[in-house]
Each structure stands twice: as C-alpha cells, then as structure tokens.
Structure 1
Amino acid sequence: MTAPQLGLGEDTAVQGALILIAEDAIEIAEILAAYLARSGMRSVHAADGARALELHLSLKPDLVLLDIQMPQVNGWQVLAQIRQRGHTPVILLTALDQDVDKLMGLRIGADDYVVKPFNPAEVVARVEAVLRRSLPREARDERRILRAPPFVIDFEQHEIVAEIEGVRHTLVLTLTEFKLLAQLARAPRRVFSRAELLATCLPEGDTLERTVDSHVSKLRKKLEDLGIAGIPVSIRGVGYRFRSGS
C-alpha cells in the first residue's frame, strides 16, 4: 500500500525549494511566504538589499523574489551582483510598470517580472514555472526521492518506506501525516513552528495549531509501532524537529 497522494497543485520538481524573498514591505513578504509554504516551498526574508545579498551568498537559494525599490542596495544592484555570481533565477516584484523598467530588468538578467499589486497565487505559479525551466534534469530527478534515514520518501509515487535492519516497511499514512513527515525530513536540523506546519501540511480548513499536535501524535504512534522511536521530536514552546541530534 502507498501513502495517499499529495494535492494536484504540488510539483515534485519544486518540492522543498528555498526562495529568498527580498522585500522591504513586511506584510507582503509574510503573505508570499505563506503562499509558498502551502505549495511545499521554503522561504527566507531579507528586508533590504544588503541583507538579500548576504543571504544569497550564504544560503544559495533556488530562486529570488526581488523588490526593486529597497533600502541600502536597490533591486537593480542586487540583481546585477547575483548575475555576477551565477545563474540563480530571479523574479522582480515592483510597482514600476513602465516598459523601459521591464526591459531593463530583463536585460540585466531577470527571469520574470511581476507588477504590484499582484495576486500572490500568481506569483507562486510563476515561481514554479521558472523553477521547472531552470532546474537541471538531474536535480529534478533527485528531488523526487528524499533519503532521511530510516526513511526513503518518494514524492512521485507518494510513498514512504522505512528501512529497519535491512527490512523495508511501507508506511500507511494519512495525507496530512505524509506531508508532516516529508516536511520535517526535508530539513532535519530545523525546528518547524506549529504555525509553519499548519500552513504547509494541513488542509486549508484547519486553523488551530493544536490540530498539528494531534496529527503528530498519531504519526509518532505509527512509527513507534514499527520500532522507530523519537521521530518527530517535540521542542517545547516552539514546535517540532525531525529527530534529536540530527
């Protein structure tokens, strides 16, 4: 038996992609982060151009959502430096809607251009499209299979197998349990807050963070029945991590 399928909107080519949101308007950045999370992507925020360049260098994101009018270092300068470093995909987000601005962005090396105000769902769709075009085939294939011992997570088959003492056990999980385990396994050292897991892994109708605890408890019980203890780990007052000491 296989785990239930992921939602039709999810794309195995972009699962777990890290998006750098370079935007000085905090409310816009938070909305984009929430929509990206619902599509299975991770995000990090920079409120000015200098910080955006620091995070781009240290984290090597899969794509940058870049506002043009930012403090310290403007978007044009950030884009130019990113292009000097390599080929990270960049989508410009800006209130500048003149054709000359669009052409300038594309000439410097932007992969796409979105004018404010925008529909965040459209931005996410553009992110997914750019990632599909830019991600090498071998990287896309690698993203379909995630190995986080003792688990092998197959996003294409929507199946999680636990390898215990040389024996493979296919987990029978609900859709939410599949998403929770996969999300934690993507970044095993990171502590995910309940709010993050709620936005990323639970149905849109669920709004209570304590619902996350209930699903995690059921997931942990199924794993313990197979002899897998300590996954996921509760971090008091914060949320959950894949395992302790990862």
Structure 2
Amino acid sequence: MKKHTIGSIRKRKGAQPLVMITAYDALFARLFQESADILLVGDSLNMSFGGNPDTLSATMDQMIYHTNAVCKGASDTFVITDMPFGTYTDGVTALANAIRVFRETPADAVKIEGGSDKAPLVRHLTSNGIAVCGHIGLLPQAVRAEGGYKVKGKSEEEALSLIEDAQAIEKAGAFILVIEGVKADVATRVAKSVAIPVIGIGAGNGVDGQVLVFSDMLGLYEPFVPKFVKQYMNGAQTVKEAVAEYAQEVQNRSFPDENYVY
C-alpha cells in the first residue's frame, strides 16, 4: 500500500472509508501496515500497556519513543502522534512540543483534543508547519474534569455544539478529525458539515472512517470492553493457551526436542 499524504487523505472524504488503528511499537506496526491507512500512536498506550486508569499520565518523552518505534515498523504508513495531556495548554507550549515531535520523529501529524476552544491552538500549529488532526466529542484527556466517559450528542444543543466544534477545527487548518463517543446520527451530521474526513470511534458508520485501539479489537485487553468495540479475535485467550502449552512442555521436558537444539 502506497503511503498516504495529507492530500490523498483529504480525497477520501465521502469516498472509501479510511482505516485507522492505534500502534505503539514496531512489531505490531509492521503487522498493521498492510491494512491500515493511518496508524495512531495514541496516549491510550498508558492504559492498555501501562495499567493506568486513564490516559493522563502519558508524557512527551513516551510519545516520542513509541512514535519512533511505530515509524520504524511501518515506514510506509501515515503516522499521527497524540499530544499528551498538559502539552498544549497554550500556543507557545503546544508549538514547542509539536516541534519536538517533528524534529525527533518521522511522524506525519499530531493530534490534539478539543473543539472551538482549541481552534486558536490548531491555527497556531498549522501556520507554523505542523499538520494537525483534531479530536472532538468524548475527550479522554478530560475524563476527570467530566467525571467519567460520557457519550455526547444526546441533545440538539450538544449536536449543534459538535458541528460548531468540527467547523472551527477545520477552519483552523486541521486536515482530519476524530470524533469519539457520539450518537451515531449526530456524528453523521458532523461529518456532513465539514469538508475534511471525520474518523469515528464509537460514533457509528456514517463518518469517513474508523479507528480502534488495537488491544481492544484483538481481544487482548480484558479488564473492560467498550460497547462500541468489536473484538475480531480472542487474543487474550489465544496468548494464555499458547503460554500454558509452552509451560507444560518445559515442565515435562518435551521442549526443546531434537528439532530445536544445535
């Protein structure tokens, strides 16, 4: 698959849906690159692999480390890096951290959470050569402020606010937008209100593509499965069975046999 550009991603608006999936290391990035249009180095890594209850503990150093690993594993895939919590509180801070991402990794873009209130930051970044992916709706980095993960778009007022958010982020220069945890009919309205692709997660299929956390979709993360996640395999059980078989063979000395020795 030929690597996407911002231009080719924009052209997918209203056409073939874009496939986005999270990746955090070279191993899985290499496995995903044949199917994914875009890889997202998400701050969700600190939940899936760090054991934390939310994404807030991720740092710039962590994101840069994992972005470099992903880019090495999938050098021909478009890569977006999450800007972690606290790294874009103002224009100066946001630009300094985004420049770090671009200088220290081959990432193609950064993603920041927020709607109309973050539009000035998006404009500041894009006017300084930083490609930006927006993120509206349910905002994982605001989970403590909002008292949990709450679905958006349940009222007409919320629907209109989401449309306003999307249009503000588009006008500020973002080339793509993630919409999370939003009623499906509202997400469809949001997607139709802007000219940039809108990627859904828990937002129905009336948008321009989908993104899932890979450990969720592969059934590797057992503590909690969001309602919107379809598990395409029971990864946790498969891994457990394989490790149990290995352990049994080690204990009964059937591994290594003559096929696995020098």
In the superposition, the TM-score normalised over structure 2's length comes to 0.34
User: Which has the higher relative contact order, 1 or 2, with Cα contacts under 8 A spaced 6 or more apart?
Assistant: 1
The alignment's TM-score, normalised by the length of structure 1, stands at: 0.36
Higher relative strand content? 1
